[in-house]
């Protein structure tokens, strides 16, 4: 937001730097964070472009040939292209499978993250604003849920509901909403005590308006940080469930399914079937976490310079 | 008809440590276009009086007695819906710290348009134009640009002008200004007081100016009410109260304004501290700090009218000799 030159009188109080510019500058102060963001961007772009940059559609059984199975990295497939990362037991080109798997892993992680964020923060906001008995009941429920490991809750839910992307997302949302609720409630309590909320009440604004238009935007900083870290967590959780065989189906392999598929060949020297999907998963999660760490440092008011 | 009639207002806070009688029997009337100064130390109940009028006393606080009539309509016990209609619309509030009262993440125009649309069905464009005119009226240069700014881009004085403009947006009949100049530079203070006064006169709105600074209200208010420990101890026309204060507390307040003293001389101060609101002394609450207190002060002083238009709660007012 720049100031037009003709606004000379009284203009000095307008800051030179917008908050976003300052935020961007502080974020890129750490080269690790910049690198992680670049890597994450690359991973997302590769995943998005998967159908156009891979030699094979691993979901299309017509393109997958069992005769291509378990080929080491660099082998030539019967259909002619080179399998740079080798192939798995079903004859899927691992490079293609990893990019398609990333699509699933990332979309499951992001979808469950966003849904859990919306549900969790709404509940947390209402608890903080309403106070009293509503707050007590909701927050004890959150405490109860957080006393169980997220993986255990997700595992139980998936065991009951069965496999499939929709069910995995429901299970991940159920396992994670409480983190958002607790975070938002904490900062909403701080924000509600501030005078601008009192001022908004003095203007006669409605409750919904005050909660969602005035308090929520001021709680965004911790929410963004928790959202980033929890998304990485959701991706890891989905991979865990799939690896354990209760997550996604074999026909739509996420990274976890690919790792599980290759696991049985590990001891026979065919490391690549598990190894490369594992590296992809690791890079994705580490880069998201590094970005989240830097966001936390930049957005933390206590560390403000 | 008077705009506001407050009679016997009592707002108490039921804390774990005991009952705090923050406001304990406050009476005053406000005519149309009148500016009233509500003066007192911190914790004397000025702000709680303001919040009681708006119906915004939060638990553990509660209005336990008395009546607040806005144009004859009783506000104590009125439904929430009705109070919300009045708030920001007919009765508006200006707060002390302009750094805190504007939402840091919303642009000025968003906040102003919202204030208009909360009470009136106006198209956004019309509301925006009204917001712009409002900023112009409180002396903000190039209001269009300021409307597009975020609060952190404005100085303290600018922000307080914005909050005053917001308070006047819906042409309220009553403004409650809670120490609106305390957080500002002295040079800005005078400007803000001038702007508030000007808009008030132009619109014919009544105003309650809450402050601890007698110098501020001296040039602004038509009438002064001095509060001490939840009660109005002295009230009257501004000039009368300033020139001929009757209550020893008012005398003390006036005496402690530095400019009244000579250089190098010790500043006058009121001895003692603001009383603990949980354990007020029996009788007159000011008794223990008062040089004129006697045995009579162990009883609670009632309201007397020592002169036309003046009210007083004191057995030994100044200008009347204390019997030895």
pLDDT tens-place string over residues A138-187 = 999 999 988 988 888 888 888 888 888 888 999 999 999 999 999 999 99
Chain A contact set for B155 (CB, 8 A): 13
Give the phi and the psi of residue A57 in degrees, each rounded to 5: -95, 105
Q: Which two tokens stand for residue B227?
A: 């509060």
pLDDT at A108: 92
Classify B121 in phi/psi space as left (phi over 0), alpha (psi -120 to 50) or beta: beta
Q: Which residues pair with B177 in a beta bridge?
A: B94, B209
CA distance A200 to B88: 9
DSSP A211: I
Q: Is B95 on the interface with A (CB under 8 A)?
A: yes
Chain A contact set for B142 (CB, 8 A): 7, 9-10
Which of A4, A195, A202 is the closest to B97 by Cβ? A195
Task: Say if residues B161 and B138 touch (Cβ distance below 8 Å).
Answer: yes
Task: Say if residues A258 and A97 touch (Cβ distance below 8 Å).
Answer: yes
Per-residue pLDDT of chain B (324 residues), as tens digits, is 688 888 889 999 998 888 888 888 888 888 888 899 998 888 788 888 988 988 888 888 888 888 898 888 888 888 888 888 888 888 888 888 877 888 888 888 888 998 888 888 888 888 899 888 888 887 888 888 888 888 888 888 888 888 888 888 888 888 998 888 877 777 778 888 887 888 888 888 889 999 888 888 888 888 999 998 888 888 889 888 888 888 888 888 887 776 655 667 777 778 777 777 777 777 788 887 887 777 778 878 888 887 778 888 888 887 765 444
> What is the rounded average pLDDT of the residues A276-283?
92
Which of B92, B103, B154 is the closest to A196 by Cβ? B103
Residue recorded with tokens 């006669």: A204
pLDDT band at A39 (very low <50, low <70, confident <90, very high): very high
- A13 has a pLDDT exceeding 80: no
- A6 has a pLDDT exceeding 70: no
CB within 8 Å: B56 and A195: no
To the nearest whole angstrom, how far is the Cα of B153 from the nearest Cα of chain A? Answer: 5
Instruction: Provide DSSP, B75-132.
Output: -TT--HHHHHHHBTTTEEEE-S-HHHHS-TTS-HHHHHHHHHHTTS---HHHHHHHHH
Of residues B260 and A17, the one with the higher pLDDT is A17
Which of A15, A198, A203 is the closest to B152 by Cβ? A15
Chain A contact set for B102 (CB, 8 A): 196, 199
Q: What contacts B297, CB < 8 A, 6 or more positions away?
A: B283, B284, B287, B290, B315, B316
CA distance B48 to B10: 10
Domains of chain B: 4-90+170-312 (3.40.50.300)
CA distance A89 to A239: 19
Q: How many residues does chain B have?
A: 324
Q: Which two tokens stand for residue B263?
A: 């250089």
CA distance B141 to A116: 46
CA distance B42 to B253: 13
CB within 8 Å: A204 and B105: no
Structure confidence by residue, pLDDT tens digits, A238-269 = 999 888 888 888 777 888 888 888 888 877 87
To the nearest whole angstrom, how far is the Cα of B234 from the nearest Cα of chain A? Answer: 29
Q: How many residues does chain A have?
A: 305
Q: Helices marked H in chain B — which ranges?
A: 46-54, 80-86, 98-101, 108-117, 124-137, 143-147, 156-168, 186-203, 214-218, 238-243, 248-255
Give the phi and the psi of residue B225 in degrees, each rounded to 5: -115, 125
Distance of CA B11 to the CA centre of its chain: 16
Read off the pTM. Answer: 0.74
To the nearest whole angstrom, how far is the Cα of A203 from the nearest Cα of chain B? Answer: 4
Domain residue ranges in chain A: 24-303
pLDDT at A10: 42
Structure confidence by residue, pLDDT tens digits, A50-82 = 888 888 888 777 777 777 777 777 777 777 777
CB within 8 Å: B84 and A214: no
- A12 has a pLDDT exceeding 50: no
Which of A19, A195, A204 is the closest to B84 by Cβ? A204
pLDDT at B216: 82
Q: What sign does the dihedral B10-B15-B20-B22 (CA atoms) show?
A: negative
Q: Is A221 on the interface with B (CB under 8 A)?
A: no
Chain A residue whose CA is closest to B87: A204
Q: Is A213 on the interface with B (CB under 8 A)?
A: yes
pLDDT at A234: 92
CA distance B226 to B220: 15
Q: Is B87 on the interface with A (CB under 8 A)?
A: yes
Residue among A247, A245, A221 at smallest CA distance from A234: A247
pLDDT at A287: 94
pLDDT at A204: 81
Residue recorded with tokens 């929709």: A166
Q: Is the peptide bond before B60 cis (omega within 30 degrees of 0)?
A: yes
Q: Is B13 on the interface with A (CB under 8 A)?
A: no
Q: Is B163 on the interface with A (CB under 8 A)?
A: yes
DSSP B261: S
CA distance A181 to A108: 20
Which of A204, A213, A220 is the closest to B89 by Cβ? A204
Which of A1, A3, A19, A199 is most worth mutating to test chain B (most B CB atoms within 10 A of its CB)?
A199
Classify B179 in phi/psi space as left (phi over 0), alpha (psi -120 to 50) or beta: left
Q: Which residues pair with B224 in a beta bridge?
A: B37, B236
Give the phi and the psi of residue A171 in degrees, each rounded to 5: -65, -40
Cβ atoms within 10 A of the Cβ of B255, count?
14
Give the HSE-up count for residue A26: Cα atoms under 13 Å, Cβ half-sphere.
19
Three-state DSSP at B260 gives helix
CATH class of A24-303: mainly alpha
CA distance A54 to A279: 18
Chain B residue whose CA is closest to A213: B106
Instruction: Provide DSSP, A121-159.
Output: HHHHHHHHHH-HHHHHHHHHHHHHHHTS-HHHHHHHHHH
Determine whether A29 is exposed, middle or buried from the number of CB atoms within 10 Å of its CB (0-12, 13-18, 19+): exposed
């Amino acid at each position: 937001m720049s100031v037009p030159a003709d606004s000379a009188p009284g203009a000095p109080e307008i800051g030179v730097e917008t908050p976003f510019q300052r935020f961007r500058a502080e974020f890129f102060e750490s080269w690790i964070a910049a690198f992680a963001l670049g890597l994450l961007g690359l991973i997302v772009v590769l995943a998005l472009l998967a159908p156009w940059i891979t030699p094979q559609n691993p979901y299309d059984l017509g393109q997958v040939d069992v005769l291509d199975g378990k080929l080491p990295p660099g082998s030539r497939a019967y259909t002619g292209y080179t399998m740079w990362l080798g192939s798995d037991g079903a004859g899927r080109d691992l490079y293609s499978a990893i990019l398609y798997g990333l699509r699933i892993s990332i979309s499951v992680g992001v979808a469950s993250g966003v849904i859990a964020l919306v549900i969790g923060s709404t509940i947390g906001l209402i608890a903080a604003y309403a106070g009293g008995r509503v707050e007590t009941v909701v927050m004890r429920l959150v405490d109860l849920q957080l006393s169980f490991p997220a993986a255990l809750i997700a595992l139980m839910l998936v065991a009951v509901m069965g496999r499939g992307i929709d069910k995995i997302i429901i299970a991940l949302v159920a396992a994670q909403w409480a983190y958002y609720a607790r975070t938002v409630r904490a900062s909403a309590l701080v924000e509600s005590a501030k005078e601008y909320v009192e001022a908004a009440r003095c203007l006669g604004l409605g409750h919904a308006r005050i909660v969602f238009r005035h308090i929520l935007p001021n709680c965004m900083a911790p929410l963004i940080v928790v959202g980033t870290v929890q998304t990485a967590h959701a991706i890891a959780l989905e991979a865990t469930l799939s690896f354990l065989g209760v997550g996604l189906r074999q026909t739509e392999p996420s990274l976890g399914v690919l790792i599980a598929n290759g696991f049985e060949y590990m001891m026979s020297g065919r490391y690549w079937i598990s190894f490369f999907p594992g590296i992809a998963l690791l890079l994705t999660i580490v880069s998201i976490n590094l970005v989240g760490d830097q966001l936390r440092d930049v957005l933390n008011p206590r560390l403000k310079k | 008809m008077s705009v506001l009639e407050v009679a016997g207002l009592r707002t108490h806070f039921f804390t774990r440590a005991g009952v705090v009688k923050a406001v304990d029997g406050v009476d005053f009337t406000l005519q149309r276009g009148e500016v009233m100064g509500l003066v007192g130390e911190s914790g004397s109940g000025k702000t709680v009086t303001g919040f009681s009028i708006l119906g915004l006393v939060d638990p553990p606080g509660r209005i336990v007695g008395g009546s607040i009539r806005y144009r004859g309509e009783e506000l104590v016990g009125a439904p929430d819906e009705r109070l919300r209609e009045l708030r920001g619309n007919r009765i508006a509030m200006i707060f002390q710290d302009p750094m805190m009262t504007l939402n840091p993440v919303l642009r000025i125009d968003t906040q102003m348009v919202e204030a208009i649309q909360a009470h009136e069905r106006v198209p956004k464009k019309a509301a925006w134009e009204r917001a712009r005119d409002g900023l112009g009226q409180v002396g903000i240069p190039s209001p269009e640009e300021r409307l597009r700014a975020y609060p952190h881009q404005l100085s303290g004085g600018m922000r307080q002008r914005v909050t005053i403009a917001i308070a006047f947006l819906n042409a309220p009949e009553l403004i409650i200004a809670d120490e609106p100049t305390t957080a500002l530079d002295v040079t800005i203070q005078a400007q803000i007081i001038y702007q508030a006064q000007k808009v008030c006169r132009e619109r014919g709105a009544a105003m309650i100016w809450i402050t601890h600074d007698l110098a501020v209200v001296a040039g602004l208010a038509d009438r002064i009410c001095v509060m001490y420990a939840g009660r109005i101890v002295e009230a009257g026309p501004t000039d009368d109260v300033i020139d001929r204060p009757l209550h020893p507390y008012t005398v003390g307040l006036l005496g402690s304004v530095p400019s009244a003293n000579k250089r190098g001389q010790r500043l006058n101060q009121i001895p003692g501290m603001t009383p603990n609101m949980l354990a007020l002394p029996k009788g007159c609450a000011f008794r223990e700090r008062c040089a004129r207190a006697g045995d009579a002060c162990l009883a609670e002083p009632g309201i007397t009218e020592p002169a036309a238009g003046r009210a007083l709660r004191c057995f030994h007012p100044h200008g009347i000799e204390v019997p030895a």
